[in-house]
Each structure stands twice: as structure tokens, then as C-alpha cells.
Amino acid sequence: VQLQASGGGLVQAGTSLRLSCVASGRTFRNYGMGWFRQPPGKEREFVAAISWSGGSTYYADSVKGRFTISRDNAKNTVYLQMNSLKPEDTAVYYCAAKSGYNNYHMMTGYNYWGQGTQVTVSS
């Protein structure tokens, strides 16, 4: 699976941004999808994930209630809608694809990674 993330940018705190990740190469609907982020000088961390069907979603506590993950299997695309952005959301955001049906929050379970898109939130 090849993953291409886009939609990052420089925004002000309190505003919204939507990231997209388009998959190609294998059957998209066979994979759970996740978003991770790496803030400057920090480790990569889990943000959100969605099951292959879209029926189950998972969020880090830090984004719960502000971010929404969704997918459109017809378009081979997963989205991350980010609302009420904060400066601490500043990071490079990565999408990833995994087989299997558990441990969505763990990076080690993901087989394929996109290149990352920069999100910068100014105060």
C-alpha cells in the first residue's frame, strides 16, 4: 500500500483543518487506518484510528472531542478532521495502514506509512 497524506498547513489556534490520506496499490478496505503525529523534538504518538469498515474509531485522549477520523472506501481515502486546534497540535502528521483488528494505538502494528504532512498551529 502506498499512502499519500495532504492537507497540512499553518493555521491559527481555534480554527480547523482536514487532513486526507489517499491509498493505492492494494485493497484499501482490507486495512485499518491510523493517524500519528510527531511534535518537534518528541516521539511519534498515536492520534486516531479507524477499522476497515469504519465501524470502530479510536482516539488519543488529547484529541478526543476535537478530532474526527473517517474513511471513504470508494475513494481509498481516510480523513482527519481537526477542530479547535491548539498550538500543542503542531506536528508532522502521518497516516498508516495496518492489517489485524486490534492494538490500533500501537505504531508497531502498522505495515505501511505515508510521508507525513506538517501542521503548524499558531497562538
Q: What is residue 78's predicted lDDT score, i.e. its pLDDT? A: 97
Render pLDDT for 111-122 as a digit per residue (tens, 0 to 9). Answer: 999 999 999 999
Q: Residue 46: name the closest of 55, 54, 35, 56 by CA.
A: 35
Render pLDDT for 30-53 as a digit per residue (tens, 0 to 9). Answer: 899 999 999 999 999 999 999 999
Provide the 8-state DSSP code for 39.
Answer: -
Render pLDDT for 4-32 as a digit per residue (tens, 0 to 9). Answer: 999 999 999 999 999 999 999 778 888 99
Instruction: Count the Cβ atoms, other than its own, within 10 Å of residue 44.
Output: 16
3-state DSSP helix/strand/coil percent for the chain, to nearest 5?
Answer: 5, 50, 45
- Whether 76 has a pLDDT exceeding 90, the answer reads yes
